[in-house]
Structures are given as C-alpha cells and as structure tokens.
Amino acid sequence: MTPRLNIIRRRARQNPLMVAGILICIAWIFVSIFAKYVAPYDPLEQSIMERLMGPSSAHLFGTDQLGRDVLSRVLYGGRISLPAGLLVVTSAMIIGTIFGAITGYVGGMADELLMRFTEIFMAFPIIILAMAIAAALGPSVRNAVIAMIVVWWPNYARIVRSLVIQVKSNQYVESAQAIGASPLRILFITILPNCVAPALVMATLDIGNAILIFAGLSFLGVGPEPSAAEWGRMVSDGIDHYDQWWLSAFPGIAIFTAVMALNFIGDGLRDLADPRTRKAVG
C-alpha cells in the first residue's frame, strides 16, 4: 500500500486547498461532537444582566439579546446544521439512485415518466418549494429536512439515470448479459458501482449547498425553534440588532467556513476524478 500512500501525498501537495478543506471539516466535526467540552458556556443559558455585550475576554464573541454566549452557541450550532446537510444529501442520493437507476436501466415508459416528474420539481427554485413545504408541515428541524429531501432527490434521480445510461452501453455490461446474469445483478453489481464515484463527487459539492439552504430556511424561521443554537437562526437574531454586529457576524462565519471547506473538498475530488483537469492542474 505504500505506493498508494505516496500518490496520496503527492496529490495532497498538488492540491493544498483540498487538504485545508479536509482539516477545517475535521475541526468542525470534532467541535460539534465535543461541543460540551469545547464550549465555555451553556449555549441556552440566559443571563439578562449581560445581554448584548460586545466581544470581551469573558465572552470572546460577545453575548446575544438574551445574554447567551455567542461563542458557545456557534460551537454548538454545527450539531444541527452539519448533520442536517449530510442527511438531506444522503437521503436524496439514496432515493434518487433507486429511482434513477431503475428507470435508466429499464428505459421506455418508466424512464419518460420519471423525467417528466422530476422536471416538475426542478421547475421550482429550491428554497421557495422547501419553504412552502416546511411552513405547511410546521416549523421544525425534522420538517425542514423532510422538505429539503422532497425537493432535492429529483436532482440525483436525473444524474444517476444519465450515468446508468452511459455505463449501460459499455461492453462489459453486454458480456454480463451474454453470460446470463439477471437484470438485478447487472444493475446493482455491474452498473451501479461504476456510477458511484461521479455521484459521490456531486454529493460532496452538494452538502455545502444543502447546509446553505438549510441555514436559509432556518433564517426564515421555518427550521429549528427560535431559541435553538443553530447558525442560520442566530444570524437572524442580528436583524433586530444592527449595532451588535457580533450577533450575526460569527454564526455567518461558521456557515461560511464549513461550506467553503466542503467546496474545497468537492473541487479537489472532482479534479481527482477527472483526468483532464488533473493534467491541467499538475
């Protein structure tokens, strides 16, 4: 395995941004898991005497309108946003893969139907539809995530479908058919594994996007409950307090760094997966 490790090391040197992205991501995951030990205060503890205080040595990121410590809330915030983004994208990918793979492989009427069906969903800008669904279901983290999955999966159905159609025309699929493999076996063992890499690259780039949209929904008030320590929600606290810039600035930076790190990784993965850009970069 050593030559393999060497390749990874060389690639890492070629793509420092991807390495930075991975490090930032690991940092956020670590902070979110161990928020209890990392955060200086309880994110929900109110202290009316200390409300809206600017950054100081006691409260590095200041306090909010209820006197809660902004730094602690930021550190806890990833516990909602990060899993939400991950959950939306993985669920959308699983649902989309099931539908896209089957219709892409079978073709014909089913394929046509799925395409028309997904087109309808693609006609709605994501946040509009998600906002309407989440509002109708009632504002909560769970419902915001459900709303986003409903809007998100058609994307993957279309991508996986086109990948399956591409792979289907390969000769090894024909050979599998020739030796009498069952359609299910061909689809799941022969075709799908060859579609995984591009779909995964897409998904990595997408998680950042999902976190952004989730934060947007939560900013609009159709996500977590008002008191929750969640980044989008915290930025919205800043609307009523223009003078207290730290209320919105810090949670925004948190969203920004997390999404940027994911974009770095996604970009890097795409470069690795695509030999053309790999040559161009090197």
Partner 1 sequence: MSLYRYLARRLLLLIPLLIGISLVSFLISNALPADPTAANLGERAAADPEIVQAFRDKWGLDDPLYVQYLSYMRNLLKGDMGTSIRSHRPIVDELSKYLPATIELATFGIVISILAGIVFGVISAVWRNRPIDFIVRIISLIGVSAPVFWLALLGLIVLYLRWGIVPGPGRLDARVIPPPNVTGMYTIDSLLAGQWDVFRNALSHLMLPSVVLAAYSVGLITRITRSSMLEVLSQEYMNTARSKGLRERHVILRHGLRNALMPVVTIIGLSYGNLLSGAVLTETIFAWEGIGRYAYNAARTLDFPAIMGVTMLIAIVFVVTNLVVDMLYYFLDPRLRYQG
Q: State phi, psi for 52 to the nearest 5 degrees.
A: 50, 40
Determine which residue in the list 29, 182, 277, 282 makes contact with partner 1, applying CB under 8 A.
277
Residue-wise burial string across 71-99, b where 16 or more C-beta atoms lie within 10 A, e elsewhere: bbbbbbbbbbbbebbebbbebbbebbbeb
Which CB sits closer to partner 1, 191 or 230? 230
Structure tokens at 171: 């000769």
Which CB sits closer to partner 1, 38 or 249? 249
Structure tokens at 169: 């025309």
* Interaction between residue 62 and partner 1 (CB under 8 A): no
The residue range among 8-16, 56-64, 182-190, 214-222 that interacts with partner 1, by the rule CB under 8 A, is 214-222
What Rg value do the Cα atoms of the chain yield, rounded? 22
* Interaction between residue 210 and partner 1 (CB under 8 A): no
Interface mask toward partner 1 for 92-131; x: CB under 8 A: ------------------------xx-xxx-xxxxxxx-x
The residue range among 30-38, 94-102, 160-168, 246-254 that interacts with partner 1, by the rule CB under 8 A, is 246-254
Q: Strand, coil or helix: what is 145?
A: helix
Q: For residues 190 and 133, give the distance between their C-alpha atoms in angstroms, rounded to a whole number.
A: 38
**Residue that is written with structure tokens 């890499």 in the block:** 197
* Interface of this chain with partner 1, residues 252 to 271, rule: CB under 8 A: 252, 255-256, 259-260, 263-264
The residue range among 26-34, 87-95, 159-167, 215-223 that interacts with partner 1, by the rule CB under 8 A, is 215-223
Determine which residue in the list 236, 265, 268, 269 makes contact with partner 1, applying CB under 8 A.
236
Q: For residues 7 and 278, give the distance between their C-alpha atoms in angstroms, rounded to a whole number.
A: 13
Neighbouring residues of 107: CB distance < 8 A, sequence distance ≥ 6: 165
Q: How many C-beta neighbours within 10 Å does residue 161 have? A: 25
Cβ of residue 184: shortest distance to partner 1, in angstroms?
30
The residue range among 27-35, 59-67, 174-182, 217-225 that interacts with partner 1, by the rule CB under 8 A, is 217-225
Interface mask toward partner 1 for 130-149; x: CB under 8 A: -xxxxxxxx-----------
Determine which residue in the list 71, 157, 215, 265 makes contact with partner 1, applying CB under 8 A.
215
* Interaction between residue 238 and partner 1 (CB under 8 A): yes
CB-CB contact of 70 with 62 (8 Å): yes
Percent of the chain that is helix, strand, coil (3-state, to 5): 80, 0, 20
CB-CB contact of 244 with 54 (8 Å): yes
Total residues at interface with partner 1 (CB under 8 A):
48
Structure tokens at 108: 């014909």
Point out which residues bind partner 1 (CB under 8 A): 116-117, 119-121, 123-129, 131-138, 208, 212, 215-216, 219-222, 232, 235-236, 238-239, 242-243, 245, 248-249, 252, 255-256, 259-260, 263-264, 276-277, 280
